[in-house]
Structure 1
């Protein structure tokens, strides 16, 4: 396994939490109208924050390892990697959920936007700060 910058992984993890939290805070009223899971209020922050930090830590570590293996060390290459990963994974999964499970397209679009922002932030931080 290549050397990872664990400080960059930690910073990326927290940055992703802040960006994602802001995204959903701005769009919370739309989520409540689109799906009943969001209508009843959110989970307590005491539970949400640690769960999201762990999820972001896993993702940041994977992205840091991938960026290191691919030799990603600049802003442009990190940006391209984030976009390619977004198209290849969240977009494929979310369009499948719209088509096969009848998830509202607007709901999937909100989640797709979160994933794009999260992947951009995480990948750029761990890809540039090596």
Structure 2
């Protein structure tokens, strides 16, 4: 089985339940892509992006570079999330998203739009 690393940035007033849900979504995403989650890096608001830097160092030490994040906004503490993703992809890091993307109109794929 291939390995993957996970990362997310906590938000203000994030509850233990939200943290557990986010962790489980990353674990599930790894399993759905036939990867084993090796480590999960979680940044606190005050320390961001320290854990992201640790995750990147871990990724650069392996050949198969896969990072799972809820969405690209978790890179925002380091700059423009799209530019960060592009930079990671240039360094052969595959980014997987554990959270369903939000469609235009504000609803996640597969969920009904508000009436």
Q: TM > 0.5 between the two? A: no
**Which structure has the larger Rg over C-alpha atoms?**
1
Q: TM-score scaled to structure 2, two decimals?
A: 0.37
Question: Greater helix percent: which structure?
Answer: 1
Q: TM-score scaled to structure 1, two decimals?
A: 0.34
Question: Greater strand percent: which structure?
Answer: 2
